Structure 1
Amino acid sequence: MSNLCVAALAVLRQIEPIIILEQLGSTLFDTAVQMVVRDRCANASYPDRSREASQQKAMTDFFMTYSLIIRLIPILPSLLLARLSDRGWRKAPIVVPLSGYLLSSFALLLVVIFSFPLELMFGAAVLFGLSGGFGAFWPGVMTLTSLGSTAADRSKAMMRVELLYGSAGLVGSLVSGHLFQLYSSSLGHGIILLTVSTVLHLICLIFAIILLQVKQTCREDTEENYNLLFPTPCNSPVVEAAAGINKMNLVLLFAAAFLYDFAVGGAIEILGSFVLKAPLSWTATQVGYGNAAGCGIFLTSFLGVIVFRRCVSDVTLILIGMVSFASGIYFMTFVTTTTMFYFARLLNLFALIPLPTIRSLLSQQVPASSYGMILTFLQLTLKVAGLAYIPAYTKIYQNTLDWFPGLIFLLSSIVTVLGMIPISIVGCRIARRQPYERIQEE
């Protein structure tokens, strides 16, 4: 029994339980906010627009403002937390954002219980942003993952984290719609769902403060021997390599990440509203199942990494993931039934491979003392992409809603193809440099 307790405590001191609890709480919150906004916008009315078009405009306007706030406000807090992380406070980018998640869930719970104006969530979004939000939390998670793995296994380790994140999201999404429908004479729709979400975030925060332990592998493993882009000689310091030729590859990797996130984020931003309108007109349960299908891609992407990494490079892995998303989101352009929707999602099997692999490549170009900053800069780059695609996609969707609502998905497919260009250039640079490096090592 004592051995079991020790083993259980060792598991609880890892980052994985926090990832699972946070994602469970967040998926419940995501379904709740989506359905609450739909209900509150049901009676929206705009001149020269049908009732459904007015509801879609009100919903997308709310999500546009809400999303812009939670992407713009966290920029400075994320940088500050990244700086604290690289100075030894590795838990700061995890603990502080988790308090923001807790406040957001609690705020929406109050909105539902007391019928407060929906605009109160804008204030909650500001508090969430000041805590660093996802832009600080996820780099913090990836930093701990990088520190706890060797460079040779880092892509696999990061994809394993994504798998846990997606699996928790899958479970949370499957039950979220059913929990939203639970109510009694004293509890309306969504209250039970949001109560569970708030409790999960509270437990997650307690775990992070009290139990989370930071582990670090040997610096020789993490910084010298496994540079995937440019293998360096044993007597050549990796910092010099990273400071030289690799700068161009860092720029190309950041550009690819920006374009890919622009395409993926823009499509997903609109997808939540798209499925609530005719001809799909999803219910809360169907919304949960749809979110679960999206989370299932974490599993298929992880399996893709396990299978493909044995025979292809990380650059090829990224290209496979981009092709998967481009094809699936192109098919989404013409979706008119729920069956067609799930087929489009099926084509996105490997769509989550690119960003974790890009993070892995980036982390191997800098010393361990800079992991937090480089990964946070990447996350901030994705936030800048969000500040661009949120208003752009929202306005395009609103203006094409009556004649071609799937146009934004077609645009996402085109931008994804553009994102393949800088990654292909990185691949060509690697192919040209590797023979030279082998000769130098000999």
Structure 2
Amino acid sequence: MKLLFVEPAICLSAFALTLTSPLTTQYVYRRIWEATSNYSMASGSNASECEKNKSSPIFLSQEEVQKKVSLFSMQMDISGLIPGLVSTFILLSYSDRQGRKFPLILSSVGALASSVWLCLLSYFNFPFQLLIASTFIFALCGNSTTFLGASFAYIVDQCKEQKQRTIRIAIIDFLLGLVTGLTGLSSGYFIRELGFVWSFLIITMVLTVNLMYILFFLDDSVKESSSQNVSMSCSEGFKNLFYQTYMLFKNASGNRRSLLCLLLFTMITYFFVIIGISPIFILYELDSPLCWNEVFIGYGSALGSISFLSSFLGIWFFSYCIEDIHMAFIGILTTMAGMALTAFAKTTLMMFLVRLPFLFTVVPLSVLRSMMSKVVDSTEQGTLFACIAFLETLGGVTAVSTFNGIYAATVAWYPGFTFLLSAGLLLIPVISLCVVRCIGWKEGSYVLLIQEESREDTSNR
């Protein structure tokens, strides 16, 4: 019996990917410490070493390890940039003809292969530089952006009514927040109690179950096209998506085109900062003076994941009293305050408290997507979100690489500089939103404008 529920696959994938990130970072940190430092870690310990005394020679080695981990992370992300862009772009557009299961299966196979490679790497103690191969394989098969994009498209295919679609997507946001929060909370205990090998093995088992569910239990929401169309899609799909994206902007009126470009620019610049700074949190917490162990890092990751839930509740509450653009302002400004406070967090209590301003971090991303969907026609929604997915993949990898490079260059003299820089960069989307407000954004006005333009096009024909 085939099911039309992609939610179990999303939850299993979210658990695996959320657990993989902190495990990989701390595994690389430990391996680079052992490779470059003259000071060995405690025997049988799974924790990372940290020295708070700046006059200690261990402290100097610690700073060098921080730089090398950050630069290696940048190399890993760059290795997956090109294959990730190509696979995301092709697979998501290809799914309109070939079906949604194809990108779900392929990205799941890539994640499973990457996890198996991590197991072998940690068990046989292979050179950690080979981690770059797992990043490349995962990106080549379609990364997490591909999986989530196909999942949301799968849900949209089933929901003919707007209200039903909103509820299903809201449920996904809730589940993602719940799963990532609980996984982040437990990640430290996985490392402490099981070590890296067994933790990576558990991730592999979860991804195997996920792949089995998609293959044998999940039905496809889109029926495959005829063989002729399938053969044409491989050669023409890439060109068609470029052409559709071009027409998305060409067909819009001048005011609507300007608004769409501004909203897209606002979302991508905000996304760039948020994604780029995310992995820096773990390195910052491992370093002096915080010197967090794996359990505290898990607590921090869990608090960060709560933003999915709090942002959803914030949107639900604020939508009754303020406009979308004001919700976006609130989310960006509170995130900016959180970044600035993090740069000066020197104690564990303070580092936990600075997570509070990040409660609405996800709000601008959701709201800006909603605002953009209101300024394009219903027949252009797929092209719009394919364009967004492409820019998110490009911006995400570029951001992580950039911020890792900046952190490596500044960690020796001021580790919090990257967070101050992030707070300053968030002024860009704020200014962009102010321009959107000045040119006359009003709720519902552009829906009427689209309808008028559609009627004009019909009459001209």
TM-score of the pair, normalised by structure 1: 0.83
Partner of 1:137: 147
2:422 to 412, 416, 422: 412
Q: 1:315 to 1:401 in 2, by over 3 A?
A: same
Which of 381-390 and 409-418 deviates more? Answer: 381-390
Partner of 2:364: 354
> Which runs of structure 2 are paired with 1:151-190 in the superposition (5 Å)?
151=162, 157-183=168-194, 189-190=195-196
2:250 pairs with 1:259: no
Offset, 1:423:
2.8
SS of the aligned residue for 2:426 comes to: helix
- Tell me how far apart the structure 1 counterparts of residues 437 and 104 of structure 2 sit (CA, whole Å): 34
- Tell me how far apart the structure 2 counterparts of residues 350 and 120 of structure 1 sit (CA, whole Å): 37
Question: What letter is aligned with 1:326?
Answer: M
- Tell me how far apart the structure 2 counterparts of residues 369 and 280 of structure 1 sit (CA, whole Å): 51
Partner of 1:85: 95
Question: What letter is aligned with 1:41?
Answer: I
Unaligned runs of 5+ in 2: 38-56, 223-247, 453-461
> Which runs of structure 2 are paired with 1:205-216 in the superposition (5 Å)?
205-213=211-219
8 Å CA contact 1:163–1:299 kept in 2: the answer is yes
The CA deviation string for residues 121-142 of structure 1, in whole angstroms up to 9 with x for no partner, is 1111111011110231222123
Unaligned runs of 5+ in 1: 1-9, 184-188, 217-237
The CA deviation string for residues 5-35 of structure 1, in whole angstroms up to 9 with x for no partner, is xxxxx99631211111111111221222122
Query: Identity of aligned pairs, percent?
Result: 26
Offset, 1:101:
1.1
1:109 to 119, 134, 142: 119
Offset, 1:390:
3.1
8 Å CA contact 1:159–1:305 kept in 2: the answer is no
Q: 1:154 to 1:428 in 2, by over 3 A?
A: farther
2:285 pairs with 1:275: yes
Question: What letter is aligned with 1:160?
Answer: I
2:114 pairs with 1:123: no
Partner of 1:295: 305
Partner of 2:20: 29
SS of the aligned residue for 2:355 comes to: helix
- Tell me how far apart the structure 2 counterparts of residues 11 and 292 of structure 1 sit (CA, whole Å): 34
8 Å CA contact 1:257–1:382 kept in 2: the answer is no
2:9 to 18, 21, 35: 18
1:68 to 69, 78, 84: 78
Q: 1:248 to 1:95 in 2, by over 3 A?
A: farther
> Which runs of structure 2 are paired with 1:365-384 in the superposition (5 Å)?
365-366=375-376, 371-384=381-394
Partner of 1:4: none
Question: What letter is aligned with 2:414?
Answer: F
Offset, 1:118:
0.9
Compute the RMSD of aligned alpha carbons: 3.1
Question: What letter is aligned with 1:42?
Answer: W
The CA deviation string for residues 362-384 of structure 1, in whole angstroms up to 9 with x for no partner, is 44555666544432321221233
Q: 1:181 to 1:369 in 2, by over 3 A?
A: farther
- Tell me how far apart the structure 1 counterparts of residues 144 and 428 of structure 2 sit (CA, whole Å): 26
8 Å CA contact 1:266–1:393 kept in 2: the answer is yes
Partner of 2:244: none
Which of 263-272 and 148-157 deviates more? Answer: 148-157
SS of the aligned residue for 1:402 comes to: coil
